[in-house]
Every structure is written in structure tokens, then in C-alpha cells.
Structure 1
Amino acid sequence: MSKNRTSRFMPVIVAVSIVAGILIGTFYANHFSGNKLGIINTSSNKLNALLRIIDDQYVDTVNMGELVEDAMPQILGELDPHSSYIPAKDLEAVNSDLKGSFSGIGIQFTIQQDTIHVNSVIQGGPSEKVGLMAGDRIIEVDDSAFVGKIVTNYESMKRLKGPKGSEVKLGVFRPGEKETLHFTIVRGDIPVKSVDAAYMLNDKFGYIKVNKFGETTYPELLISLAKLNQANCEGVVIDLRGNTGGYMGAAIQMVNEFLPKNRLIVYTQGRKSPRENYTSNGTGSSQKMPIVVLMDEGSASASEIFAGAIQDNDRGTIIGRRSFGKGLVQQPIDFSDGSAIRLTIARYYTPSGRCIQKPYVKGNDANYEMDILTRYEHGEFFSQDSIKQDQSQIFETSLGRPVYGGGGIMPDIFVPQDTTGVTSYYRMSVNRGLTIQFAFQYTDNHRAEMQKYETEESLLQYLKHQNILEQFARFAESKGLKRRNILMYKSQKLFETNLYGNIIYNMLGMEAYIEYLNKSDKTVLKALEVLDKGESFPKAPEQPIEPKVSDEGTKKTTAQADSARKTPSRHHRINDKVRCFA
């Protein structure tokens, strides 16, 4: 009898226990989380409810997957200019640029007249192995014609890239051959270089051009430094112009090569990210080598970490124009469907304590997007006096030199953009892409003849005797650009530099192209002057600036004063993997 009574009351007992558990859990959750969890759940439930309502009741059929895909970047765009959403279809392409390789056939191409033209074949790559050559036209892909309006960069990359080990069949038109040539190419790993050039500018000083900070950038730098040291290099120019950044860890490893032990390189800090210091470990191979760093408005993020560490530690001289001003750190977060976000989790600070992030307004800030154009219109590219520094954000290097936060890295030596010889005729020629088109066509028509010139200097001597400018003028006129002899000859030096440079690039590659351009590059020439005079190491100002006092009554710190003794922080060794983007 008692057993039956117990069985009858068991459901009641279980129900009471569940209710009591819920009430107790809710009490403690509210007590210890300050209702934050409830707020988050309410907001997310609101979003989920909205999606359900649209799916159930909207007047037309809605592709809910597409709606979510469209909403993701809008939500992240409300946070800051650099938090972003990457759809699954784009993630591989986005990551491959920084990974140092991708899977493909190993060619560099341009699209001319709705056809893929092979500019160059990567040495040792899959295409070279089967006999594909520079100058070939790809007209078939996997037994289907591939010419006409369908031929775009996106569609070409989609068809030519693919998983390592997979095959692609190409039909190729080769000038001089009557029949279409057919090749079956097995895709393989194609290296993506971070260092575009590493060579000696003269008998004493070397030059390294870095285009991004990826997984292979640090080892590429080591190889480049070793190459220069073998040529008895006494000082180096690191060119970061146009380098938009990449992995923060790569920048930290690279600048470590030039700093003595226990120098602060950078630190990061965010609402949920405690301060983390990154300091040099004293193992760098070039700790005493004179160094000059080149920057411009296209230098951003990891480039600014590198330059900021050099500048704030008074290790070298920064030359060029004010950098972009990106001081935010993004953490990559992957989703199960193959998409990902890059979420800003912290700000980074140079050794002097400055954050060089330029101002922005949350949401769609048109002024932020147009900042570079605004700088140009205000004359900042041409005059240092046009640059307005935020006087409330003045900091000091280790020697007491003033530096500023809140708007990029200001160079120690300003070099304006050179506009000598620029005319409307030249500007229209470049903007319409006519100089590049002509250079490609000229290369294509004279490839066999020019192949015997193996150096930039020998090829240049050949080009100087070919009346290239006159040939270009006729080409441009055939494309609808009216000939203007006075303007053309006023811009003669610019035209020749542009045309010769592009032909050299087509025939000999990026390093030869950069080597040619650097001979007349005023920023590079200024760097050489500084190195030659032995002035790359900054000097302390004659009258040290009196440190400003903040509202809390504490003095602004110098570069080496930011240490764990002052602020609780975490320290990282140089060989730690830092996968954040900067």
C-alpha cells in the first residue's frame, strides 16, 4: 500500500524538484552575472524571433540563408571599420594570400581582349613542368572554350585553382603554332612571396621590399638578410610602402631581428584581453645594423607595428609619408559552415604607449573610408605642414623624441609625393590602363628578341634605342586618346619610367622592376643619403620635452618604461604563435 502511495506522489515530487532547481539557478545567475546573461539571451532571442517571423509570415518567399549572409557583415560593420565577415566561398582565397602558398597551376596572367594571356610561368611549378610558356593564350579549360565576356579574374582563378593533385586540361594558342596545343596540368602548391626584392642598392647598403606579413615572411626576411650579408651589407632599407599588414606575429618576429634584448616591441589590450607585452629576446642577427624604414599612406597595421617599434626604441629612421593609422587587432573565428569572422578584440600600442588608430565613428563612417583621398585633397601628400597632429596625444621615444598617437606613424623625415612632369595626358594614359596594355603588347610582340637580355640594365639599354614613347603615342591614339605632343614630351621621363618599368617587369619579374624604379625613387635616394651620412640612428633632442601630466596626475611614459612592474600584464616570447591580424 505504501509503495502505491509513493508511486502516486513521485511525479509531483519530481516536478517540485525541477521548479525549485530552476528558481535557485535563476537566483544565482542573476546574482553573480548582474543580469548580463539575460540581456544577451533576450537580444539573441529577438534576432532569432525576427528571422522566424520573416520565414513564417513575410509576403514573399525568402532565402533565409542569403538573408543571414547579408546581415552578418552589416552587424559587424556597426562595431568598427575592421571587424569583418568572410563567406565560406571567399575564405580560402583570403587566407591563401597570408599562408604563403595556394594550390594552382603556377602562372601569372593578365586578361587582354577577353582572353587569358600568360605573363610568366613560375619556376619549378606545374605549368613549367608540362611546357607552358610566357606569351601563351589559354583558350580552353577542361575541354570547353574559355574566351569572351565570361573571362574575368574571378572566373579564371576559380577554374585554374583547385585542390592539390587534381588535374585541369588547358587548350593553348601559341604565336607561331598553327594548331591549338593541349596540356594536362596536375595542380600543386604555388608559393606566394612576401618579399618582392632583396638586393644591394650600392656597394654598401642593401634593400628589402616586403609586401605583406604572412606565415612565410619572417623566414623570407632571414634569407634576404643572409643574402645581403654575403655581399658585405653595412646598412639596410626596409620598404613597407603599400604594405597593408597581415599577421601581428610576423611583424614581431621581424622587428626582433633588429632590437637588443628586453626591448618592448608592442603590447595589446582590450576589454576582455588583458595587457600582453611582446619583448625582444636578444637573438636577432642584425641588432647593430643601421636601418631605415620606408612608409606611406598605404602602410598599415603590422607595418605600423614594425615601424613603431623601430621609431619608439630609437633603433632606426622612418622616411616617407604618414602611415594609414590602423591600431586594432582582429581575432579570426571560424564557423562550422566554412565561413569566418575577424573580430576586433584589442588595440595595440607602440612601446611609447601610443595607439596609432585614426579616429572612426561606429557604423558606416564615410569619412574613414575616404580618409586617404581627404589627405590628398588637403595637400598632405605634398607638404608636411598640411599634417595636423593631435597635440593631446604626444608621447616620447626612449631618447625623449616626441611622437604622436591617434593617426598613424609620422615619419622622422618627410618625403613628398613627386608630381614633377605630371600632365593631363599622362594621367589619362595611366588611368585608362593604356601604359600597361601597351607594355604587355610590346612584350608579346618582341618576346623572342628580348629574351637574350637577362639583366635589368642590359634590357633597359635595348629599350632606350627602340623609340618606345613614339610607339606608345600611336598605340594610345588607336585606343581613342588624342595625341598631345607638348604634354607628352613634358611627361617624357614619367612615360619612359612607366613603360620601361612595365616591360622589364613582364620580361624579368618583380625584383628587376623594383630595382629599375628605385634608381629614380626620391624616397629610396633619401634613405641612401641618410645611411651614407651615418645618420640612421636617431639622436636625443637638445632640449628634452617636459612630459605632460594626465588628468590622473601621472606622467606620460617613454618607450621603455612600459613594463610588467607598472601594469599587470602577460609576456610573450618571440617564438610564440600570434595568429591575430593587425
Structure 2
Amino acid sequence: MRKGTKRNLFIAATYGAVLFLGLLLGQNYAGENRWSGSGGLLPLGKTDRTGKVQHMIDLIVSNYVDSMDIGQLQDLAINEIVAQLDPHSEYLQPDQALKQHETLEGSFEGIGIEYYNLHDTLMTVGLIAGGPAQRAGMRVGDKLVAINGDAIAGVNITDKAIEEKIRGRRGTAIEITINRSGKDIPTPLKVMRDRVDVSSIDAAYIIDSATAYIKIRRFGANTADDFRQALQNLKKQGAQRLILDLRENGGGYFSAATALASQFFVDKQLIVYTQGAHEARTDYYSSADGIFGNGELAVLIDEQSASASEIVAGAIQDLERGIIVGRQSFGKALVQEQFGFGDGSAINLTVARYYTPSGRCIQKSYPISNGKNHHLANRPTPAKKLMDTTIAEAVRRHRPSQDVYKTASGKLVYGGGGISPDVLVPADSSGISTLYRKIRKANLIETYVYDRLTKSVPAYAAENYLKGYFLPDKEYDDFLQYVRNKGIDHTTKEAEAIKPMVRTDIEALLGRYYFGSETFFKVRNRSDQVLAQALNALQGG
């Protein structure tokens, strides 16, 4: 890569999963970024060939029968050009570029609330600890009625309009009229917009007496620091082993991925290298001062683990530092550089591929506009029948021979189509049932919980909730009737098949509502087979 710049390298990762909310936290998954610092529009007229595009736009603006917006024409031209490239190169409008930047930087200017649109009314379901809204006295469960005197409840307001009303410059005030426990509060809450910092760590806690669990949502500017702080606290509690959960993590900053991977080594190791037609090979090494350079390690991945997540998993696997548990990762090994334009828009342009320490590229093939595929190794055939075999044995039968690589000890690893876990844990079949997908698509679990199960604050602490609350059978039956009332019919057998997942979803969502994000993951993890397999492997089972 180019030396002497302050730009961040990035892995575009638009493949990710937002848990459930239209958040005002900027928590949408985005790509790795290295800012070019260039201004103005793309220099389309640098050569005779590229000059044709700009010349055509000039001709239309100067001679076309109707007036045309030059900016709109340029956007159309750029989008059409980018469409001919790989799926991770993209053109971003100014608001999209800003959101991506805020997401990865882990901060934005706003009030720090999470909301759910319940019956055309915004219900507060989460508050950033110490954020502007919480400081002003807002509580979880408050419903937003009006902002600065303008009604927002019952008027079919769009997410964009909500954001425009709530987001704003630091130091400016916003007045929010709220309904609390069914009663309108007569005096609006005055909230002073401020910088809001959002951690990239979703949960960090001790599972048993010696095993720490840390879940990372994305790879942002502060991820490595957040991780170090979280793990230091857990080590003080006796953690000697670590389970790092990168499932549903669509990526983030390349520099964050290498910084995190460095935490698992006590000597200088090649973590990843990048190379492209116009980019010379650049090697990235661990810094040899990792906070968890020793100790047993398991990394959890799934089909939504992409980009920066795969850099970390690939390094851990290739260097035999730990075990990879779960399902085949997404398969995204393309590196983007972000070029900014003077109007705030930007283009994320793929400039290189990255390779794991053993030299493998885990990029899957992808379609391009002419209907053909870029010929990069495809994923292996889905392994539904391979529950009792190791992933190495399974993949050996499905991977082409040219995709086989070896680690220093001779262990086989595979390129193309993502990272193959060392311990394969197939997806729960109930999670892919038609009934469950319909319920999730209609947001019925969230609506049911917020509408019917959040009427009173529990008189017990989070630990009591985790140990003592399990959704009663009657409540599950009531939920099934609610589902039927919403037009989704099902058989008794279908309802029984998805019962464990729905109960866990409801219990986790309630836990999050009352006790925060960490409780949500603690509830989910109680019945998580991937986590159970990782824990069993680390404990020598």
C-alpha cells in the first residue's frame, strides 16, 4: 500500500445484521475505510478515453432540449460505472458517507436513544449510558409524542424525517414531548445534543470460573482499545480462556482487524497481506505485545462474519493460535479505498485483495454485469449431512485441489468462499423454518414484547432474571394466538418446532429492555449450541 499516508485501509462490509431497530446510534454495518482526502468531483477528463464521459455530460447540460441537473447526471454516470465492478465498490451520497464514517468511528452527534416504531409511535427501548437523553431524564419505555412542538406520533413519519428532527449539531437543544406509562408529561424534556460514543463490544462477561466471552459487533476505530479494556477486566476476574464471538460481524476498519489480531500473539507474526494490480504487496505483522498472547482461544463465526472478521479468523486459524467454531464465513477478501468528493459524497473503490498468512484468498466468486462470474473459488457444497465429521474432512471432499493450503505444522486450510471452521456446527433447522422466517420478517416478536410484556418494571436484578425467568407455556400459547391474529396460520407441529427459538428471542429481548445489551446476549447464549461446542472444546471435552 502507499506509504506515508494517514489514510485508513478498509474492508467494505455491507453484509451484516442489525439486531432489530431503526437506531439513532449509527449502528449499521459499513466498510473499512482509508480516506483519500481528494476534493471535488472525479477527474473524468484526465485522458482522451475518460474525457468522453465528462464531455457527454457537458454536451447534455449545454445543448439538451430541457434543463438538466449536472449533479444528478454525474451521480447516474458514476453509479453505472461502479455497477460494472465488484459488489463491494460503491458510490455513497453525502449522508451515506457520513453515516458510514460515524458508524466506524463509534461516535456521532445526537441524543443517544434507540427506538422501536410501535403502532406508529416511537418507543424508547434503549439509552446510551450517560448520553444526552438519559441525562435529561428520558427512560426506557418512554414514547415520543412530539419534537419541538411537531407531532411525530400517529402521523406515519419516516425514519429519515425522524433522524432529521433528532440528529443535529453538538450543543443545540431539542424539546421532546413524551408519554410515560400511558400519561403525557406536560413539560417537554429539553435534551442538549452532544457527542455520543458507542462501544463496538456488545457483551463481555465470565461464562464459567475461567472462560471469558467477548462479542464484537463491528471493527471500528476504538475496537482494539475497547477489547483490551474489556479483557483486562475479565482477567482480573480470573479469565484464562477466551471465546471471541465474531458472528453477525460484517467487518470494519482493516487497521482495527490487525490491531485486534495482534492481541493474540506475543511475538511478531504475519497476520495478513494485501496486493492488487496497482498496489504492491504489503505485509501486516502483529506488534508482539498482545494482551492475550497466551491462553486457550476459540473464535466463533457464521455466514455473516465478513471482511475484517475473516482477517482475524484467518490469522488465528493459519497460525494455529486457536480453534474456529461455527459455520462457513461470508467470503469477502477485497480491500477498498475511500475517495472523498468535495460535496461530501465518496466512492469505496476496491484496490486490492487480502491474503491470510498461509497465502490463501478467501474471496467467494461474485456475479458482474455481463452475467459472468469472477472466477474465485466457490464455497463448498452445504454440509447438512456432515454433523459427525470434522470440517477438514468435509471440505476436503468439496474443495478443488488448488484451494488447499498448509500451515507450518502441515494442517490443511482452504481458500475461496470464506473461512471453514475447525469445528462445524450446522444451523438449527428451526431457525430456517418457513413459520419462523415469517414471524421474524413481520417483526412480531418485537411488537409482541414491547406491546404486551413491558407494562411493569420487574422487582429483581439482572442475575435473578437470568436464573429465574423463563417464558411460561401460557405466554407462548398467547403469542401463537397473536401470530394467528396477524394472519400467519401454522400447525401444532410447526409451532412446537420453533418454540425453543421463539422463547429465547422473547426472553432475550425482555432482558435487553430491562437490563441492557449484555443481558440480551447472556440469555441467547444459554441455549447457543455453537458457544456450547466452543466451551466444550476449550475445556478439553
**What band does the TM-score fall into relative to the shorter chain?**
0.7 to 0.9
Q: For residues 295 and 88 of structure 1, do their structure 2 counterparts lie closer, same or farther at Cα, with a shift above 3 Å needed? A: same
Deviation by residue 1:531-572 (Cα, 9 ceiling, x = unmatched) = 0008xxxxxxxxxxxxxxxxxxxxxxxxxxxxxxxxxxxxxx
Deviation by residue 1:263-311 (Cα, 9 ceiling, x = unmatched) = 1111111222211111123211211111011111111111111011111
2:496 paired residue among 489, 492, 496: 489
Q: Counterpart in 2 of 1:330?
A: 336
Q: Counterpart in 2 of 1:395?
A: 405
Secondary structure, counterpart of 1:444 in structure 2: coil
- Contact kept, 8 Å, 1:382 with 1:417, in 2: the verdict is no
User: TM-score normalised to the size of structure 1?
Assistant: 0.79
Q: For residues 59 and 135 of structure 1, do their structure 2 counterparts lie closer, same or farther at Cα, with a shift above 3 Å needed? A: same
Q: C-alpha distance in 1, partners of 2:485/2:313?
A: 46
Q: Counterpart in 2 of 1:97?
A: 103
> Does the alignment pair 1:512 with 2:519?
yes
- Aligned-residue offset at 1:437: 1.0
Superposition pairs of residues 230-249 of structure 1, within 5 angstroms: 230-249=236-255
- Aligned-residue offset at 1:154: 2.5
Q: Counterpart in 2 of 1:429?
A: 439
Q: Counterpart in 2 of 1:304?
A: 310
Q: C-alpha distance in 2, partners of 1:202/1:343?
A: 44
Q: Counterpart in 2 of 1:552?
A: none
- Contact kept, 8 Å, 2:333 with 2:362, in 1: the verdict is yes
- Aligned-residue offset at 1:463: 4.5
- Contact kept, 8 Å, 2:364 with 2:379, in 1: the verdict is no
Q: For residues 43 and 292 of structure 1, do their structure 2 counterparts lie closer, same or farther at Cα, with a shift above 3 Å needed? A: same
Superposition pairs of residues 538-577 of structure 1, within 5 angstroms: none
Q: C-alpha distance in 2, partners of 1:428/1:196?
A: 27
- Contact kept, 8 Å, 2:430 with 2:436, in 1: the verdict is no
Secondary structure, counterpart of 1:354 in structure 2: coil
Q: Counterpart in 1 of 2:417?
A: 407
Q: Counterpart in 2 of 1:161?
A: 167
Q: C-alpha distance in 2, partners of 1:367/1:426?
A: 33
> Does the alignment pair 1:351 with 2:366?
no
Q: For residues 261 and 133 of structure 1, do their structure 2 counterparts lie closer, same or farther at Cα, with a shift above 3 Å needed? A: same
Q: Counterpart in 1 of 2:194?
A: 188
2:325 paired residue among 311, 319, 330: 319
For 2:536, give the aligned amino acid. Answer: E
Q: Counterpart in 2 of 1:61?
A: 67
Secondary structure, counterpart of 1:275 in structure 2: strand
Secondary structure, counterpart of 1:197 in structure 2: strand
Deviation by residue 1:114-168 (Cα, 9 ceiling, x = unmatched) = 1111112222111111211111111111211113354232222222111111111
Q: C-alpha distance in 2, partners of 1:138/1:181?
A: 13
Q: C-alpha distance in 2, partners of 1:186/1:364?
A: 52
Q: C-alpha distance in 2, partners of 1:133/1:38?
A: 52
Superposition pairs of residues 61-460 of structure 1, within 5 angstroms: 61-363=67-369, 379-380=382-383, 383=386, 385=394, 388-420=398-430, 424-445=434-455, 447-448=456-457, 450=458, 452-458=459-465
For 1:473, give the aligned amino acid. Answer: L
Deviation by residue 1:293-331 (Cα, 9 ceiling, x = unmatched) = 111111111111101111111111111111111111111
- Contact kept, 8 Å, 2:45 with 2:54, in 1: the verdict is no
> Does the alignment pair 1:532 with 2:539?
yes
- Aligned-residue offset at 1:498: 1.9
Q: C-alpha distance in 2, partners of 1:258/1:483?
A: 48
Secondary structure, counterpart of 1:259 in structure 2: coil
Q: C-alpha distance in 2, partners of 1:366/1:188?
A: 49
- Contact kept, 8 Å, 1:83 with 1:344, in 2: the verdict is yes
Q: For residues 262 and 427 of structure 1, do their structure 2 counterparts lie closer, same or farther at Cα, with a shift above 3 Å needed? A: closer
More helix by proportion, 1 or 2?
Answer: 1
Secondary structure, counterpart of 2:178 in structure 1: strand
For 1:218, give the aligned amino acid. Answer: A
Q: C-alpha distance in 1, partners of 2:235/2:221?
A: 23
1:474 paired residue among 481, 496, 502: 481
User: TM-score normalised to the size of structure 2?
Assistant: 0.85
Q: C-alpha distance in 1, partners of 2:370/2:202?
A: 35
- Contact kept, 8 Å, 2:109 with 2:196, in 1: the verdict is yes
Q: C-alpha distance in 1, partners of 2:433/2:367?
A: 37
Q: C-alpha distance in 2, partners of 1:215/1:381?
A: 38
- Contact kept, 8 Å, 1:357 with 1:408, in 2: the verdict is yes
- Runs of at least 5 residues in structure 1 that lack an aligned partner in the other structure: 1-36, 535-582
- Aligned-residue offset at 1:422: 6.8
- Contact kept, 8 Å, 1:421 with 1:493, in 2: the verdict is no
- Contact kept, 8 Å, 2:45 with 2:52, in 1: the verdict is no
For 1:441, give the aligned amino acid. Answer: D
- Aligned-residue offset at 1:345: 1.5
Deviation by residue 1:203-240 (Cα, 9 ceiling, x = unmatched) = 12111101110011001100111121011112101111
Q: C-alpha distance in 1, partners of 2:307/2:531?
A: 22
For 1:403, give the aligned amino acid. Answer: V
- Aligned-residue offset at 1:417: 0.3
Q: C-alpha distance in 2, partners of 1:421/1:54?
A: 53
Q: Counterpart in 2 of 1:23?
A: none
Whichever of the two has the greater Rg, that structure is 1
Q: For residues 423 and 296 of structure 1, do their structure 2 counterparts lie closer, same or farther at Cα, with a shift above 3 Å needed? A: closer
For 2:460, give the aligned amino acid. Answer: Y
Q: C-alpha distance in 1, partners of 2:416/2:310?
A: 12
Secondary structure, counterpart of 1:117 in structure 2: strand
- Aligned-residue offset at 1:261: 1.3
- Runs of at least 5 residues in structure 2 that lack an aligned partner in the other structure: 1-42
Deviation by residue 1:61-115 (Cα, 9 ceiling, x = unmatched) = 3222112112222212222221111111222111111101111111111111111
Which segment drifts farther, 303-312 or 120-129?
120-129
Q: Counterpart in 1 of 2:56?
A: 50
Which segment drifts farther, 103-112 or 472-481?
472-481
Q: Counterpart in 2 of 1:554?
A: none
Q: For residues 263 and 486 of structure 1, do their structure 2 counterparts lie closer, same or farther at Cα, with a shift above 3 Å needed? A: closer
For 1:267, give the aligned amino acid. Answer: Y
The alignment's C-alpha RMSD in Å is 2.6
Q: For residues 121 and 47 of structure 1, do their structure 2 counterparts lie closer, same or farther at Cα, with a shift above 3 Å needed? A: same
- Aligned-residue offset at 1:473: 2.4
Q: C-alpha distance in 2, partners of 1:402/1:430?
A: 38
Deviation by residue 1:45-67 (Cα, 9 ceiling, x = unmatched) = 21121112222333433222112
Secondary structure, counterpart of 2:146 in structure 1: strand
Secondary structure, counterpart of 1:513 in structure 2: helix
Q: For residues 90 and 420 of structure 1, do their structure 2 counterparts lie closer, same or farther at Cα, with a shift above 3 Å needed? A: closer
- Aligned-residue offset at 1:382: 6.5
Which segment drifts farther, 481-490 or 249-258?
481-490
Secondary structure, counterpart of 2:337 in structure 1: strand
- Contact kept, 8 Å, 2:44 with 2:54, in 1: the verdict is no
- Contact kept, 8 Å, 1:169 with 1:184, in 2: the verdict is yes
Q: Counterpart in 2 of 1:521?
A: 528
- Contact kept, 8 Å, 2:354 with 2:361, in 1: the verdict is yes
Which segment drifts farther, 60-69 or 480-489?
480-489
Give the aligned length. Answer: 490
- Aligned-residue offset at 1:380: 4.3
Q: For residues 277 and 423 of structure 1, do their structure 2 counterparts lie closer, same or farther at Cα, with a shift above 3 Å needed? A: closer
